[in-house]
């Protein structure tokens, strides 16, 4: 009898409420067009189910509601994110938080909130579609299965959050990036004289192992 109790206790410990067993982010149309409003599909499995007001966070690397000009767009308040088919509008409501320009929008995220207790059957996959009309769009490129496309669950009544982790699968955003605030300055700016050339720009992405060329 004691052994059975130990086994049951172990099984219950594995089914932690709000744990995300599997998560996937995909885009339509594939691949997304630069700065074009994009349909985002969020697919996930919940180990121990979710209760009313529990939430799932999906972090969207390089996505914004801005104009792709190194400027911020706006958030979408809770319940005002339009969900497309086949989302369970009766099960979920969503809100969107705009990331910061300085972080290259790596901290943009969508929160899905359970309207009531949600199925946590092992292997059952929930699908929520964020409609393109929400104007959420890719700012720059992102590789497939990027470590910056992340997910976490949050249990409301227990004030307990699962650690943030990369999703199991995410589509690539195969796009170039851009620069703003570009400037060329010559010192001295005198014809036929040697001059120091100052090149200034603000990149929308990290310039690592990249070449920046200025045509004079």
Q: Where are the domains of the chain?
A: 15-170
The pLDDT tens digits of the residues spanning 89-115 come to: 678 899 999 998 888 888 999 999 988
Counting as low any pLDDT under 50, the low residues of the chain are 1-15
How many CA atoms within 13 Å lie on the side-chain side of 194? 0
Tell me which of 1.10.3470, 4.10.860, 3.30.980, 2.60.40 is the CATH number of domain 15-170: 2.60.40
The pLDDT, as a whole number, for residue 203 is 57
CB atoms within 10 A of CB 72: 14
CA distance 88 to 31: 25
**pTM metric for this prediction:** 0.78
Residue 60 token pair = 């969207």
CA distance 36 to 46: 31
Spatial CB neighbours of 54, under 8 Å, sequence gap ≥ 6: 17, 18, 113, 114, 118, 153, 154, 155, 156
The pLDDT, as a whole number, for residue 76 is 95
Give, for 152, the enclosing helix (H) or strand (E).
Answer: strand 150-155
The answer to whether the beta carbons of residues 99 and 105 sit under 8 Å apart is yes
Residue 207 token pair = 């310039």
């Amino acid at each position: 009898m004691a052994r059975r109790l130990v086994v049951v206790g172990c099984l219950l410990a594995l089914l932690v409420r709000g744990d995300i067993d599997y998560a996937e982010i995909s885009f339509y149309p594939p691949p997304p067009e630069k700065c074009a409003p994009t349909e985002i599909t969020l697919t996930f499995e919940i180990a121990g189910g979710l209760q009313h007001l529990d939430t799932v966070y999906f972090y969207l690397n390089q996505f914004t509601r801005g104009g792709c000009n190194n400027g911020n767009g706006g958030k979408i308040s809770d319940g005002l994110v339009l969900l497309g088919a086949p989302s369970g509008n009766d099960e979920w409501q969503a809100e969107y938080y705009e990331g910061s320009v300085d972080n290259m929008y790596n901290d943009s995220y969508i929160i899905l909130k359970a309207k009531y207790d949600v199925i946590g059957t092992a292997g059952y996959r929930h699908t929520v579609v964020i409609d393109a009309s929400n104007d959420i769009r890719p700012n720059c490129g992102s590789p497939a299965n990027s470590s910056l496309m992340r997910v976490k669950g949050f249990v409301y009544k227990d004030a307990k959050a699962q650690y943030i982790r990369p999703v199991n699968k995410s589509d690539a955003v195969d796009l170039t990036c851009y620069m703003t605030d570009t400037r060329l300055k010559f010192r001295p700016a005198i014809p036929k004289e040697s001059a120091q050339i100052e090149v200034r720009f603000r990149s929308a992405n990290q310039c690592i192992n990249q070449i920046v060329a200025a045509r004079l």
